[in-house]
Chain A
Amino acid sequence: MTSKSFHMQNDLGDVDRMVVSLKTAVEGVLDDATMFKFEICASEALSNIVKHAASADKSDPILVQLSETKSSLNIAIFDPAGATPFDLRDHARDLDTVDPLAESGRGMGLIMQCADAVTYGSQDGRIGLILTFTKSGDF
């Protein structure tokens, strides 16, 4: 399995740079439609963790890992040290139920709708969100 690690500053201003880097890393692995969903999920999940995951030290970078199996691409976004565990699957709202004139509340629902699988738990001794996408090529 190929695996790549990335570090993002715990700052909204670093989210777009990270998302673009992740997209570049998976170029050719996902078809266009799945790449679009990957970009949405990465952007929403990284913004969410910066906005809502309290951490002991904001200067600690956020660890992001990409890995692949024969049939899928996985992105793991690990909670910063000291963050309270938060499983978005318990909080995501079906996009059909969101008030059309609401200004927020769509991000987690987007992740649930766009990722092929969403898990939250321990990997390599750290707690994180793991999103899976069916892939169409190789790294």
Chain B
Amino acid sequence: MIHTAKHDSDITVIRPGVDRLTAVNAKAFKDEVTALINDGASQLIVDFQDVTFLDSSGLGALVGVLKKIGHRGDLAVAGLTTDVAQMFKICRMDRVFTTYANVDAALQKMAENQ
């Protein structure tokens, strides 16, 4: 389901690989990202540029990933489409996640912070 690319500074970019991250596939998304974390990935960017819709289950899965990383690393989200950004805002998740306009901006900032 997910597609990953490892960049310099051990930052992993994750694309969910679906255009709708919902109750149908949220658990699979969380399980696959959790497996990456268990394998040592700790600097993660989730790229939402191809995701057109996100429901509360998708958001919940993302929160689960954030909790899994905890203080061991960092999780940012990038490329939020208009509707997905609105969903973050309605659910007050814009206060929880660090968001960037695109992956390049997220990569630059996370690399600077290391």
Q: Contact residues of A with B, CB < 8 Å?
A: 12-13, 15-16, 36, 39-40, 43-44, 47, 51, 95-96, 98, 100-104, 106-107, 110, 113-114
Contact = CB atoms under 8 A, between A and B. Distances in A.
A15 B23 contact: yes
Most buried by A among B55, B61, B67, B95: B55
B63 A44 contact: no
Main secondary structure of the interface of A (DSSP, over half): helix
Contacts of A44: 55-56
Interface stretch (B7-15, B40-48, B85-93): B85-93
Contact of A36 (B22, B59, B83): B83
Interface string B2-40: 000000000000000000101110000000000000000
Given A43-B53, A51-B23, A36 B92 contact: no
Interface string B72-97: 00000000000100110011110110
A125 to B, nearest CB: 29
B86 A110 contact: no
Nearest to B57: A47
Contacts of A104: 56-57, 60
A47 B23 contact: yes
Contact of A12 (B24, B56, B91): B24
A47 B22 CA distance: 9
Contacts of A47: 22-23, 55, 57
A100 B96 contact: yes
